[in-house]
Amino acid sequence: MAKRYSGEVEVSIIWNDNEEQYAAKVTAPGPRDQFVMVGAPAVLEVAVDSPEGYDSAARAAIAFADNEDEVIGDYAAYTSEGCYISRSKDSKWPSQP
């Protein structure tokens, strides 16, 4: 299982070989847990079980969860490039220039 962080949002992700997709639990403050399935990208640039693959799945999971509960995205961190994803709780907010 991999964990990714974005602001106050935590994403727990596993790759399911049998279904060829990621299963993710997206957690935000309060009773804001969403479970989403994220398919592998149509064009793979990295392995599905690589750190970068999990980063991409976490971004998608936050977007899908926000579609179900429109408040989750408010707790995530964003940069000019989109949703910010960190592999560490210590850097869950983007550094300020």
Give a three-class secondary structure readout of 51-74.
Answer: HHHHHHHHHHHHHHHHHHCCCHHH
Q: Which two tokens stand for residue 59?
A: 């971004």
Q: Does a structural domain hold residue 88?
A: no
Number of domains in the chain: 1
Give, in degrees to the nearest 5, the angle at Cα 3 between 58 and 46. Answer: 55
Single-letter amino acid, residue 94:
P
Q: Does a structural domain hold residue 89?
A: no
Q: Does a structural domain hold residue 6?
A: yes
Q: CA torsion 74→45→86→3, rounded to 10°?
A: 90
| One pLDDT digit (tens) per residue for the chain, 97 residues | 999 999 999 999 999 988 889 999 999 988 778 899 998 877 778 888 899 999 999 999 999 998 887 788 899 999 998 999 999 988 888 876 5
Q: Does a structural domain hold residue 53?
A: yes
* pTM as predicted: 0.88
Q: Does a structural domain hold residue 96?
A: no
Q: Does a structural domain hold residue 97?
A: no
Q: Does a structural domain hold residue 15?
A: yes
Q: Does a structural domain hold residue 94?
A: no
Domain hosting 46: range is 2-83
